[in-house]
Structure 1
Amino acid sequence: MSTVDALTCLAFSPDGQKIANGTARSGVTITDISSKSKHQLEMLAETHAHVTAVAWSPDGEKIIIALPDHTIRCWNATSTHPVGPLFGKHKDLILTAGFLPDSSHAISLSRDGELLVWNTGTGVVTQQVTVSNTAQTMFVAALSMDSSLLVTSDTKEGVAWEIPKCARMTQITLPDIPLLQAAIIPYSHPQVVLAFGDRSFWIWDTSTGKHDHARFEGLGEDDIPFAMAASPDGKLLALEIDGDVDHPTHFYDMKGHEFTTSNMRCTHPFAFSPDGKFFAASSVPSDSKDGSYKLIIRSVEEIIGCSPLDVRSRFMAGH
């Protein structure tokens, strides 16, 4: 049996100075970007070490993690001790979770379509909405960085939910092509990038319900989008291609132009910092002597070869 411990999820702190990353075997590690110092959350003996989702509270004081047994635990990010009871109200795999703006409540969605809002101190559920009435049809779910927008999809439609009201904002009819990924542009008017199995992309404006088609350079016949993340300003998209062993993750502007100057070899999980200055991801296993996965952090400017502010002008100039 392999002893390699893979990264499974990661999240930047609200101030962009720290990263919490979950793994398949050893729980959660918090890394300080400037000092490179690390410390681990004190996982309870009965808690599985495999972490499927991680999120920071807006005040930066707490972290929640989701586990494969359909439970969620809240930790104090400074003391690294657990706080509040184990939250076990879900009956299926948890797809996404995050804090609400007041930092005392969290929202979580499981694969069976149950959307819950709950108090992280008491574990009491304050809202419950079924976003899909057919079990096992939740294929894609994305929660915005500030937890104000949730996008869900089944085989027929995508739905944008206003959080914390848990109310439908708008929906979009999906084509007869599998929707593989969804990435919310964090701080723009509510836009979502949708990636389909035929390598086509939609930029969906959830405020109008309309969408534009998009194509991204260099995608071949067998290149399937495996993971996506959009920068906070909506100017950059990190796109991992399934099966691309040499260079899994590519960086694009939203017009589909690739930054071919990028030499960052990385794979999911990945994320942009809230201020858009940093990008964190898992290393490619072949880059390490023991085949292990390492957390790597780079400035966006270093990755694309120019300042994020120069992205638009760079391509308007024809580069």
Structure 2
Amino acid sequence: MREAFLRVRAVYQFYLDYTLPRSVEEGPPFSVTLNHEEFVAHISPRPIEEKLFPSDVDESLAGMEIELVPMDRPDGSFKRVVRDMCLDRIQVVLDADIELDQGDSFELLQKSLQRAVELVNFYLSHIRVVAKSPYVKPIGQFWRPDDGQFYTSVPHSIIWFNAEDNSKVSVFPGGNNAGSSSGSIRSPESGFVSSSAMIESMSVPGSPPLDLSLLVDAEESIISSNLREAVLCMSSAVEIAAKRYLSEYDGGDIAAARAIVRDRRNSFAKRYLQDLPEFLDGKSFLVEHGDSFSGVEDLYRERNSLMHEGKFSDEFTSR
């Protein structure tokens, strides 16, 4: 049975392994309130005079231990206490009207946490540039293909209140209104490789092919939810491979081939993946791999939007 809409205040504490840039003015650090049609968000770094772990749930979080032990060998284990990993904290408070249903509280929590991470990373991206500090890093998240879930990599706590009377909202298992996580750690196992593949790769002088390296970087960016970097890596990889295809051609009318790719009236995909291979080899990526061709069209559209407008297209962000 669904309850009526409730004004909820969700308080998130995200713990960092670096200290945030401090304000040059006296007083508390720069805080911001963001108004959205669905919520109001208050983002504030920890004032120096405040405790690093401000509540009971945070103190419990500080004492948690993280341990990784390989299953197939006795050495190389990892063990840390959360308190030893935290140097600073940033808080996000979300005020929003929700229709609370105990049956889907997990989805509510996941959606709210995802939103809080996006908001704090928005703040961190600005303070990183304004402070000119490469030490400022976003809250890490990674996507796990096995279950299609997103995981937050830094220690964090969550407390939900009724915004009207400050009473508890029991959204966690056991009727609790608070929870915490020591942060998710991706498996350190990095896959397998054959000796023959390594010999083949290292038999070519120099580093591995840049386009293949960029595709690996793109996959890492997708898993880490860095879609901007993923788009730039993938589009660069496609461009490098396409231009190498033309540079390695050693027959026919090379001037005509170069004229095809210089025709800016057509898209990159049409020039390099349709018209050029049809001219050189009588084949078309569009005909043989239609879905991938459409993917490259979309990819380059977003690459151009990032390069020329500094953001993804409205079509992309609305998906």
Structure number with higher relative contact order (C-alpha < 8 Å, ≥ 6 residues apart)? 2
Higher gyration radius (CA): 2
Larger helix fraction of residues: 2
The answer to whether TM tops 0.5 is no
Structure having the higher strand fraction is 1
* TM-score range for the pair, normalised by the shorter chain length: under 0.3
